[in-house]
Amino acid sequence: MARFTGKSVVITGGSSGIGLATAQRIVAEGGQALITGTNAEKLAAARAEGIHALENNAADFAAADALAAKAKELFGQIDGVFLNAGIGKGAHLGHITPEFYHLQMDLNVGGVIFGAQALLPLLRQGGSILVTASAAKDRGIVEGAIYSATKGAVRSMVRGLARELAPQGIRVNCVSPGPIETPFFERIGLPKEVLDMIVQHATQTNPLGRMGRVEEAAAVAAFLLSDEASFVTGADYAVDGGEAQL
């Protein structure tokens, strides 16, 4: 399969997890990918695989313009944007500080809107914007009010942008991962015993009885970024083992 031959895609938060797996798939299918992240070592490892990489923090709104400049330098125009950078942390009501609020809102919501705004001028007609939402937007999660709110916000944003950009032939969709085996929870500093409890609970309650793999989420992301999804826009694709529906 060579769906991305001659195509280029920008992926924020692409140095690990779903973002990296999607970049690897795009390159394997003949395309070029530019990923961003804040871990220099992981970015260097991606470059060794033939993936372009830029140290860039999506929570810094000015960084979106730097990313667009790099993408233009490398590719001229681009065919897809995967706004995947995000973070999730929990706090009970009464312990939510302005810093806690901004940490997630600025990255999960601001990073999406300013990233889309900066990269839109580079997108070819018929291109695709994909945003990572989450199954958390559809569920009540203790300590998760802010995180769930950010993911609900980007789902609504996808609808608005899909309608706005449809006349330009640009599709906008989101993917909502459920319990996927990624470094997401390790990055936010949860101890191993808590991680083990999360995995055990997810396995026991998921309709398919297991955690998902990053490759499974990346397969859906690659589909939505490819021309195979040319008549799909405004959609939310759940990759959650059935949690949202069953």
**166-202: per-residue pLDDT in tens?**
999 999 999 999 989 876 555 555 566 766 776 777 7
Residue 2 lies in a domain: no
Residue 74 lies in a domain: yes
Residue 201 lies in a domain: no
Has 147 been annotated as catalytic?
yes
Q: Catalytic pick from 89, 151, 192, 237?
A: 151
CATH code of the domain containing 151: 3.40.50.720
* Percentage of the chain exceeding pLDDT 70: 94
Mean pLDDT of all residues in 124-148:
92
Strand partners of residue 8:
32
Quote the pTM value: 0.93
Domain range enclosing 229: 8-184+213-239
Which pLDDT score, from 0 to 100, does residue 31 have? 98
The confidence band for 149, taking pLDDT boundaries of 50, 70 and 90, is very high
Distance CA 102, CA 15 (A): 23
Distance CA 88, CA 5 (A): 34
Which pLDDT score, from 0 to 100, does residue 185 have? 53
Residue 190 lies in a domain: no
Which pLDDT score, from 0 to 100, does residue 203 have? 79
Length of the chain (residues): 246
Residue 100 lies in a domain: yes
Distance CA 122, CA 8 (A): 11
Amino acid letter for position 103:
L
Tokens 């083990």 correspond to what residue?
196
Which pLDDT score, from 0 to 100, does residue 183 have? 65
Residue 1 lies in a domain: no
Domain count, the chain: 1
pLDDT, the chain, mean: 93
Asked if 49 contacts 32 with a C-beta cutoff of 8 angstroms, the reply is: no
Residue 208 lies in a domain: no
Strand order across the beta sheet in which 8-12 lies: 52-55, 32-37, 8-12, 78-83, 123-132, 171-177, 236-239
Which pLDDT score, from 0 to 100, does residue 187 have? 53
Query: Residue 227, CB half-sphere, CA atoms under 13 Å: how many?
Result: 14
Has 42 been annotated as catalytic?
no
Q: Catalytic pick from 89, 147, 192, 237?
A: 147
The confidence band for 243, taking pLDDT boundaries of 50, 70 and 90, is confident
Q: What is the pLDDT of residues 43-90, one digit of tens each?
A: 999 999 999 999 999 999 999 999 999 999 999 999 999 999 999 888
Residue 174 lies in a domain: yes
